[in-house]
Amino acid sequence: MSQEKLQRPGQFVLDVCTLHTSGNAVIDLVGGANVMHITFFEDMLTPYVQGSIVIQNQGAASNIGPIIGQETLELVIRTPTMKENHEILSFVGKNRLQITRVNNKRRIGAGTEFISLEFFSGEWIRNSRTRVSKTLRGSISSITNNLLNDVGCFKKRYIEPSGENKQYIAPNIRPFDCINHLLPQAVSTGGGSPERSFLFWENKRGYHFRSLNSIVKGNTDATNKDLPTHFYRHKDQIKYNKGGQIDVIDRLYAILDFETKHSDRFLNHMKGQLGSNLIQHNIYTKSYSRSSFNYLDHFNRWTHMNSHKRPTSTYPIYSESPDVHGKRVSDYESKTFLYPENETATGFDAGMQDPNGDYIFAPYQPASWVQRRRGQLGVLFGGISITLHVHGNTFVNAGDIVDVTLPYYGIKDAQKPTSIDRFLNGNMLVHQIAHEFDVANFEHKMKLECVSDDLEEELPKTDEDSPEGELSPTNDEVYQDFYL
């Protein structure tokens, strides 16, 4: 390994690829050009990794093994010269991947077969067949840690401590369903003001239970040292060195192509992500309360992708220009939520007692998280999105923060000449990664889907006429006489 050299972007090393069959046969797929193609997916909104592998063989492995979709796969892939655990895609030993299906099998020529297999995390498979029916007590982060034990998780865990004390009676549901039910109520205790922005996901480094606060402002390594930020630039922005060549690392971070998407205003309105009303009915005190959410008014109350990088120049992705009725995009309470509560006058859950009969557990408190979480995460994952087509590497993960700078393709503004796109500039969160390992040609490519929810400059607005037309218009063309 010490003599390895990264000679070109997209290069990778397949160290281990071993199939363990249900009959305890071990098939080494590294030698003999057995592996043709591997795909590997990570997503911040799913508690598992998944992928597929295409193999060829001339030894009738599918029958002799046999290969029936009940195998396990040991896999180690890395970018050359990468040595640290967090820089390597590694699933071996107790952390093997689980084959769940034979996608297809095809015979090519005499004695040769192609087999496509689908795989998932072992924890996800064990979660599907495990039920939890017991009382869970403590902080939601500690409950999450215990539930990971229930699915036999031996991977690294990155669990941010949460600050509540809960009691939850799991009603015979799967462990990850328990986590997802409690997840919105978890309170972050670090990074400044408390936030309820926790996410639960898996990437190749392990399992994560973390808030956006810690992802943006906190440390990302178990050793409490910040990992380096990955700077992605368009290939046209990569400069040549004195020798007339481009450094291989710079080429590794070159954006070959990209597509962008912007938020769906109609969908954001329908889901109540821009404005909403919540009615909270306390069944213990026989009272109710209302709370309103306005995205633009509440924008500075939570963490954004560039809150740490540029705290004084972080602006919404929506303009504050009024519509024809003189209202901003977030001034409409387009959705109403109705939630129950069981909170005592002293702030505890009246429906849960400890073994001594005392009320000590945190209440449901939907007014503190339902609207805000929906607005914060809804606009983030449904806001500015860019899909980057880049050379592959094994050290960028779903959940990482990357620095993206892309040029603005058009005639430059004469008053402010700049080539930087105002929407695609700054820190972005890696939402999804799709790895494509072409083993036959030893070419590794990636698609990174990155998201952001803020801009460096405030969008222009008008206080006079609306972009939709004249403010408060009147219409005299109303026809009512339809009978002769």
SS3 string, the chain, reads CCCCCCCCCCCCEEEEEEEECCCCCEEECCHHHCEEEEEEEEECCCCCCEEEEEEEECCCHHHHCCCCCCCEEEEEEECCCCCCHHHEEEECHHHCEEEEEEEEEEECCCCCEEEEEEEEEHHHHHHHCCCECCEEEECHHHHHHHHHHHCCCCCCEEECCECCCEEEECCCECHHHHHHHHHHHCCECCCCCCECCEEEEEECCEEEEEEHHHHHHCCCCCCCCCCCCEEEEEHHHCCCCCCCCCCHHHHHCEEEEEEEECCCHHHHHHCCCCEEEEEEEECCCCEEEEEEEECCCCHHHCCCCCCCCCCCCCECCCCCCCCCCCCCCCCCCCCEEEEEECECCCCCECCCCCCCCCCCCCCCCHHHCHHHHHHHHHHHHCCEEEEEEEECCCCCCCCCEEEEEEECCCCCCCCCCCCEEEEEEEEEEEEEEEEEEECCCCEEEEEEEEEECCECCCCCCCCCCECCECCCCCCCCCCCCCCC
The Cβ of residue 455 has, within 10 Å, a number of other Cβ atoms equal to 20
* Assigned architecture for domain 130-227: 3-Layer(bab) Sandwich (3.55)
**How many CB atoms are closer than 10 A to CB 302?**
20
Please give the backbone phi and psi of residue 372, each rounded to the nearest 5 degrees, phi first.
-65, -45
- Phi, psi angles (nearest 5°) of residue 382: -120, 20
Residues in a beta bridge with 450: 386, 430
8 Å CB contact between 34 and 56 = yes
pLDDT of residue 414: 47
Q: Please report, for the chain, the start and end positions of each structural domain, with discontinuous segments joined by +.
A: 13-123, 130-227, 265-373
Residues of the chain with pLDDT under 50: 1-2, 220-226, 414, 417
- Does 9 sit behind a cis peptide bond, omega within 30 degrees of 0 on the bond before it? no
Mean pLDDT, rounded, of the chain: 88
Closest by CA position to 365, among listed 187, 170, 153: 187
Burial letters for 332-343: b for 16+ Cβ neighbours within 10 Å, e otherwise? bbbbebeeebbb
Q: In this predicted structure, what is the pLDDT of residue 410? A: 64
| Cβ atoms of 195 and 182 closer than 8 Å | no
Entry field: residues in the chain = 484
What is the pLDDT, as a whole number, of residue 417?
47
* Closest to 176 (Cα-Cα) out of 139, 124, 99: 124
Torsion of CA 283, 285, 290, 295, to 10 degrees: -80
Q: Rounded to the nearest 5 degrees, what angle is found at the Cα of 71, between the Cα atoms of 67 and 76?
A: 115
pTM of the model: 0.90
Provide the pLDDT for residue 422. 81
391 residue type, one letter:
H
Q: In this structure, what are the phi and psi dihedrals at residue 103, rounded to the nearest 5 degrees?
A: -60, -50
pLDDT in tens, 380-428: 999 999 999 999 999 999 999 999 988 876 655 545 545 778 888 889 9
- State the residue for tokens 């986590």: 179
Q: Kindly compute the dihedral angle of the four CA atoms of residues 267, 270, 271, 272, in this order, to the nearest 10 degrees.
A: 120
> How confident is the model at residue 222, as a pLDDT?
39
Pull the structure tokens for residue 474: 């009147």
Q: Are strands 230-234 and 401-407 parallel, antiparallel or unpaired?
A: parallel
Residue 194's pLDDT is what?
A: 80
| Cα gap 12→246, rounded to integer Å | 19
Bin 469: left if φ > 0, else alpha if -120 < ψ < 50, else beta.
left
